[in-house]
Amino acid sequence: MTAVVIAAALLGAISWSFLEYVMHRYWGHDRRFRRTAFGVEHIRHHIEGDYFAPTWKKLLFAAGVAAGLALPVVLLGAAVGLPYLAGLLGFYGLYELVHRRLHTHAGIGWYGRYLRRHHFRHHLVDARSNFGVTSPLWDVVFGTWRRAERITVPPRLAMVWLVDRSTGQARPEHAATYVIGKGKGR
């Protein structure tokens, strides 16, 4: 039974990863959805960079997802359905934490630095690529992954962790990956 619970939780986490990609790609970037609540919040996040939808809206969204998944939980039974839902909602919580930290803190470890480059390529170079925030998996599967090389960050969107206050440029430890200036990065 333990293996079933673990498998259900992992399937929930993978399901969130897929939903993250699909929602971001379509609800966040497809013109047909730009006037929805998600689309409006997402476009604002791209324009302002450090703007995040209020927590109450995110909790309302998570509650809606949980309610929407109540039927599968009932159909699968509590022993499988609840771990699945816990994996999905737990990974959603992890996504929220990771996404915010990508914008507000320097990356921790090689994967944190990789995710940050991957995500900021999406924000600052080409919003038609790199939709995954916690993983590039679905970008690779659906052909939207692009290598994040040196990224040009407009001064008005430069993150606090990136800027050397004495020069106004990227801190030395980030200079190989980011440059503060005008134009698109690579």
| Reported pTM | 0.88
DSSP state of 156: G
Q: Across the chain, what does the average pLDDT equal?
A: 91
CB 80 within 8 A of CB 8: yes
What average pLDDT score do residues 51-59 get? 89
- Residue 52 is assigned to a structural domain of this protein: yes
- Residue 89 is assigned to a structural domain of this protein: yes
- Residue 133 is assigned to a structural domain of this protein: no
pLDDT at position 169: 95
CB 178 within 8 A of CB 153: yes
Domain extent for 30: 2-108
- Residue 159 is assigned to a structural domain of this protein: no
Query: How many domains does one find in the chain?
Result: 1
What average pLDDT score do residues 148-175 get? 94
